[in-house]
Amino acid sequence: MRLLLMLIAWYFAQPAAASDLPGLIADPANWAIQTGDFANTRYSTLDEITRDNVGTLRPAWSFSTGVLRGHEGGPLVVGDVMYVHTPFPNTVYALDLKNDGAILWRYEPRQDSQVIEVMCCDTVYRGLAYDDGTIFLHQADTTLVALDARTGAVKWSVKNGDPTKGEVNTATVLPIKGKVIVGLAGGEFGVRCHLTAYDETTGERLWRAYATGPDADILFDPKTTTVLGKPVGAESSLKSWEGEQWQIGGACPWGWFSADPDLGLVYYGTGNPASWNPVQRPGDNKWSNAIIARDIDTGVARWVYQMTPHDEWDFDGVNEMILTEGAVAGRDRKLLTHFDRNGFGYTLDRATGELLWADKFDPSVNWASGVETDPASPDYGRPIRDPAFSTDQDGMGEDMNVEGICPGAPGAKNEQPAAYSPKTQLFYVPTNHVCMDYEPFRVAYTAGQPYVGATLRIFPGPDEVGAFKGDNPMGSVTAVDRATGKIAWTIPERFSVWSGILATAGDVVFYGTLEGYLKAVDAESGKALFRFKTPSGIIGNVTTYRHDGRQYVAVLSGVGGWAGIGLAAGLTDPADGSGAVGAYQSLSRYTALGGQLTVFSLPR
């Protein structure tokens, strides 16, 4: 009888199925979605922890995940339960916040370990999603699983891709309006990727949209889908590829999703075209490296904008879209801001796709001098390239090494999400201050085999962002003004800042470093306020929540990802990891493998 009563009490302690995601997002006690909200601001209105007391922050408790690979993403908090994920094999834990984080249930997927061999840049996973009593897990092998949030029981599952072709998953999903929107990875294997919506309750596929190919496949209406305010025209993607190359064109949506429920739109970015050798794929290669706004209900594209036509440097466009509102050029608008791997930050009108400003957020960017923002120009929206850093070299780039390209392939910013504070009206951007030498070579396509076609050497960028103890910094946290795109201040870091940033109403900005430090700085000035060394390098995203009247800050540590692939996978050849092993070889002096959640609070 006692056991039965305990089980009943435990069951009713779990989040109620009647809860809905918009309501949970509105309550800052929860952290119910990886991005903090549908707008991807990663901002919390909690203000118990302030610039004045954050220096007294202390670890409250911790939890070992049992996995020693790169830990991206972060935990979810819904009521009295925290949901924690791991990299491959994508184990899920439900932890009881009322009982010192005791394990309520765990879900351990059975996946073929051969999936690891076709995962680019470590076995990372960017986190779970929650809605209406269900936890959504998109496994590395592309199996989408719906778990009962109370018990961990499988409600339904569906396969979204084929790992034997190189189709895998590293991204979280977006539950919205009764749908689960999911992406795919695999551009380095010549996969033709898609975005798909499934029914939250049944797992039924509702729509699927590719980024390359005929209009019927990419769900473009040539008359109503626009690019920079004009109809995109018929077969816009097909016209930008040579022959049938669009069928192995990549353009994978492996990053983050944002949504505007009022406009009924979901926003996301597409990845690089395949292969990395631009000589083999003439044309703009649409719609790779693009921002796409799609109707949530139908998947039909409302507008599209391509940041890097004919990408020659692996500048995926998958980084998060941050949705804000405010005045730009004297007019109030609904805005979308995107800090791209190519080193430029972009702000567009998110209703129409009109480009409002584009500016460098790392001064070392040299592949282009700027972006044409004059709507009257025939080159409106296109980058102003410097031909000295082209890896195509007018079609003569085979086996030609191009040196000193900035940024390097990891980008001036990778997938690690920025944050936005409506109090300061600043974006807080985690950056990679790296450059590269790039040598393309011809590569043949074989399904399920790497389809890259370039050798890279990655190295720290110039010390324009400020020297770090005598060495050129490899990263920074950079504050960018919402209205103008201008840099307000920069904090240099020894290594790339590969952690997602958190901004709070307490005027504190949190982030993690590859050495393993959780850091806090003043949201207005960037002044250092706090740091604590966790057991391993941090590539996870900092989150916050309130429980029993106290504010907590949580972060996953576990070095890995592209920057930490040498440590994570035991690689030693400097050329491995597309040059990342050599670039970050000194990281092993500062941290080691791990897999731990650390939760902080103020002392009582």
CA gyration radius, the chain: 22
Write the single-letter amino acid at 173: V
Answer yes or no: 314 catalytic. yes
Structure tokens at 440: 């393309």
Integer angstrom CA distances of residue 188 from 449, 459, 488 = 9, 22, 36
Helices (H), 138-218: 215-218
Q: How far apart are the C-alpha atoms of 302 and 111, rounded to whole Å?
A: 37
Contact between residue 288 and residue 311 where contact means Cβ atoms under 8 Å apart: yes
Q: How many CB atoms lie within 10 A of CB 181?
A: 24
Q: If we measure between CA atoms, which residue out of 557, 548, 539, 543 comes closest to residue 96? A: 548
Helix, strand or coil, per DSSP, at residue 283: coil
Backbone angles phi, psi at 521, to 5 degrees: -135, 160
> How remote is the C-alpha of 164 from its chain's centroid?
24
| Choice among 37, 260, 284, 314 that is catalytic | 314
Q: If we measure between CA atoms, which residue out of 501, 509, 510, 516 comes closest to residue 563? A: 516
In angstroms, the first-to-last Cα distance of the chain is 37
Q: How far apart are the C-alpha atoms of 267 and 257, rounded to whole Å?
A: 6
C-alpha count within 13 angstroms, C-beta hemisphere, residue 446: 4
Residues annotated as part of the active site: 314
